[in-house]
Homo-oligomer: A and B are copies of this chain.
Amino acid sequence: MALIVQKYGGSSVADGEKIKSVARRIAKIKDEGNEVVVVVSAMGDTTDELINLAHQVSEQPSDRELDLLLSTGEVVSSTLLAMALDSLGYKAVSLSGAQAGIETDSKYSRARILRVDPKRIANELGKGNIVIVAGFQGMTQDMDITTLGRGGSDTTAVALAAALKAEICQIYTDVEGVYTADPRLVPQARKLDKIGYEEMLELASYGAKVIHPRAVELGELYDVPILVASSFNDSPGTIICKEASMEIRNKVSGIVHDTNVAKVTVIGVPDRPGIAAAIFEPLANADISVDTIVQNASIENIADLTFTVARSDLSRAMAIVEPIARDIEAKRCVADSKLTKVSIVGTGMMNMPGYAAKMFRTLYAQGINIQLITTSEIRITCIISEDRVKDAVQALHRAFELEKE
């Protein structure tokens, strides 16, 4: 008998029929003799509908109230799933994040889990119950309800798996696993059976939408094996776990792309101390996440400073940066929102400069201009024009022979 934590996303529980179908999947796992804890997201578009309601009564709803409001979405889906299991003849109980013992800090809308007290869940499992937990939420020490922000339900699932020492955390979603590239762009893309935490973290951070990087990080920290698979069929999915051995660290694992990229360039920045702080502190205060930052070599103490933000943040970022640019006597600011990040990821690339060269050569052969380059130990990212993303990903998939095992 194993303890298994499963997570079902919003599209998997979007209506009554889908909830009943998920209940049957859970029943099967229970029938195989396992203890089961299930984390669910809100049904379909519930969260958007609640946000819409909030904006009907307030232009800027307070984070505290919004969190309490949004938390109801997952409570609704988890109670319905418990009822569906009950009507199949399985004992089930649903718990809100608070009831499940998920304690967070009080940073509303993006709370971090401080600790999980698994007493109540363990108690319900002990009574033979399947336990359904409302994802994406927790409670502060002062009994206020928080939400975990992006990737919240994935994070709930991995945190519970860690606290309960579960054998595995299974993330069921609307894709079949982790692919060598987006199958919609590259028909030859291959599903990976297995991938290491570090590689998955880079893939997830740079465009793979299957699981949130926060959840991968937590999985790595507590050594929780994570399965990513489809909730709509029984194909095997991809296991995220520790690398099996040093030997397999010898190639590129996958290619990811992310079209949510915009670039701001401040041209003619006087090269003196404090300039970077003058620009990036106000952005941070406005909660705008800045990704890649590049400053070219200074010629006569004048440099160009380029950084990328999410597209939805571009107009706010420009509104903040333009007056600063004037203050610091830079020449001007230019924005470009039609960009895409393309990254190759693989632990095999560590200390192997050949991969970068091959990537640049491949893009060059396609006539694709590289606007910015950033790297980590196991990732190389090029920012290119959005309209060339398909060519780039396909060419790289061929060049690194990812269609082969």
**Interface size in chain A (residues, C-beta < 8 A):** 41
Give complex CA distance A57, B83 in Å: 7
Judging by beta carbons under 8 Å apart, are B19 and A57 in contact?
A: yes
* A323 on interface, CB distance cutoff 8 Å: no
Contacts of A72 in B (CB 8 A): 72, 75-76
Contacts of A143 in B (CB 8 A): 98-99, 120
Contacts A62-B86, A64-B93, A143-B99; is A57 near B80 (CB within 8 Å)? yes
* Interface SS of A by simple majority: helix
Give, as a whole number of angstroms, the nearest-CB distance from A84 to chain B.
4
Give complex CA distance A97, B100 in Å: 18
Judging by beta carbons under 8 Å apart, are B57 and A84 in contact?
A: yes
Judging by beta carbons under 8 Å apart, are A59 and B87 in contact?
A: yes
Contacts of A23 in B (CB 8 A): 57
Judging by beta carbons under 8 Å apart, are B76 and A53 in contact?
A: yes
* A372 on interface, CB distance cutoff 8 Å: no
* A69 on interface, CB distance cutoff 8 Å: yes
Give, as a whole number of angstroms, the nearest-CB distance from A116 to chain B.
15
Of chain B, the residue at the smallest CB distance from A57 is B84
Of chain B, the residue at the smallest CB distance from A52 is B16
Give complex CA distance A18, B326 in Å: 47
Partner of A62, one of B58, B62, B71, B83: B83
Judging by beta carbons under 8 Å apart, are A68 and B58 in contact?
A: no
Judging by beta carbons under 8 Å apart, are B69 and A79 in contact?
A: yes
Judging by beta carbons under 8 Å apart, are A53 and B69 in contact?
A: no
